[in-house]
Amino acid sequence: MTAMQTKMDVTANNLANVDKTAFKQDTVIFKNFPELLLHRTNDDGVGWTPMGSFDISPLVGKLGTGSEVNEIFTRFEQGTLKKTDKESDLAINGEGFFVVQTNRGPRMTRSGAFVVNTEGYLVTPNGFSLMGEKGPIQVARHNFSIRDNGEVWINDMIGNDPREVWGTDTNHWEQPRLLDKLQLREVDYPRHLLKEGESFYMTTPESGDMRELAGNKPTEILQGYLETSNVNIVTEMVNMIEVQRMYEANQKSVMTHDSMLGVLINTVLRSQ
């Protein structure tokens, strides 16, 4: 029942975050406790012939002793891409993570729902800076373009003063200049990454440290898109119903066992 309760919590969390940008679903893995061999207590194993049969083994069979949660890991399958046409929205099509500088240190994320703050920095909704290879990325509103390889370009004729506000119709990109390149990182074993709030992931000794994407990885950055969660609502609802029924079945088994034990105790007490 404890294992089923854990799976219910994980399933409920997946459903609660189904609309969260780039959320990755969690999966519960169980393992069985060691099985027990049942023996006939009134048999020493010597061959005998009851009713024409011949049995030389006092073994009855195996008895399961339950299960426990072995691991809760995150599945990093690609979510679908949703077009937003917002210049600060970014999506990773393929492998890798953005790097964001938080007050707890650098963190990785797949969520590309960034905004341009009053100082011109690309930040998360909570104000944490998106990192480029040269540091936090500072741009003028409507004067930056992010290419599929992560390069950040600006129109040098307009400049990079965040106090200047330009319309998209007035920027003709007469003098494009490479400003920076997004930090795109990966780890050796992403299933061992530790989830934090705000769609952040922290490395662990088991996951390995952050490193640059391998050159052969089919990864592209899409500006004006967001990655949706990879949670399948139908599958998670089926899981929830299945877990609830299994929990109720285990609960009835415990109640039946408790009732039978109570009858046995009362019978013994009456016979004394």
Residue pLDDT, tens place only, 225-246: 999 999 999 999 999 998 888 8
Q: Is 208 left (phi over 0), alpha (psi -120 to 50) or beta?
A: left
CA atoms within 13 A on the CB side of 176: 11
Same domain, 241 and 201: no
Same domain, 202 and 142: yes
Model confidence at 78: pLDDT above 70: yes
Most confident of 1-5, 88-92, 118-122, 163-167: 88-92
Mean pLDDT value of segment 246-254: 80
- At how many degrees (to 10) do helices 233-271 and 2-16 cross? 160
Higher pLDDT, 252 or 38: 252
Per-residue pLDDT of 95-149, as tens digits, reads 999 999 999 999 999 999 999 998 989 999 999 999 999 999 999 888 899 999 9
Same domain, 156 and 244: no
Same domain, 113 and 152: yes
- Cβ atoms of 75 and 24 within 8 Å: the answer is yes
Same domain, 123 and 71: no
For residue 38, the model assigns a pLDDT of 74
- Beta strand 220-223 with 90-93 is antiparallel
Identify which of 106, 248, 270 has the alpha carbon closest to the alpha carbon of residue 183.
106
For residue 110, the model assigns a pLDDT of 95
Per-residue pLDDT of 85-108, as tens digits, reads 999 999 999 999 999 999 999 999
Same domain, 101 and 206: yes
| Residues making up the chain, counted from first to last | 272
Same domain, 126 and 235: no
Least confident of 72-86, 107-121, 175-189, 252-266: 252-266
- Cβ atoms of 182 and 130 within 8 Å: the answer is yes
Model confidence at 47: pLDDT above 60: no
Model confidence at 50: pLDDT above 70: no
Q: Is-above-0.85 flag for pTM?
A: no
Helix (H) / strand (E) element for 264: namely helix 233-271
Helix (H) / strand (E) element for 208: namely none
Count the neighbouring beta carbons within 10 Å of the beta carbon of residue 37: 10
Domain presence at residue 168: yes
Domain presence at residue 258: no
Domain presence at residue 16: yes
Mean pLDDT value of segment 19-28: 93
For residue 113, the model assigns a pLDDT of 95
Q: Which residues contact 272 (CB under 8 A, 6 or more apart)?
A: none
For residue 79, the model assigns a pLDDT of 93
- Cβ atoms of 76 and 27 within 8 Å: the answer is no
- Residue 99 sits in which domain range? 95-217
Same domain, 125 and 197: yes
Q: What SS3 string covers 150-193? A: CEEEEECCCCCCCCCCCCCCCCCCCCEEEEEEECEEECCCHHHC
Domain presence at residue 254: no
For residue 161, the model assigns a pLDDT of 75
Domain presence at residue 233: yes
Identify which of 48, 67, 50 has the alpha carbon closest to the alpha carbon of residue 1.
67
User: Residue 267: which pLDDT band, with cuts at 50, 70 and 90?
Assistant: confident
- Beta strand 225-227 with 97-102 is unpaired
Model confidence at 254: pLDDT above 90: no
Domain presence at residue 126: yes
3 state DSSP class of 234: helix
Same domain, 210 and 232: no
CA-to-CA distance for 112 and 93, rounded, in angstroms?
11
Domain presence at residue 54: no
Same domain, 108 and 212: yes
Paired with 166 in beta bridges are none
Higher pLDDT, 89 or 40: 89
Q: How many domains does the chain have?
A: 2
Same domain, 102 and 195: yes
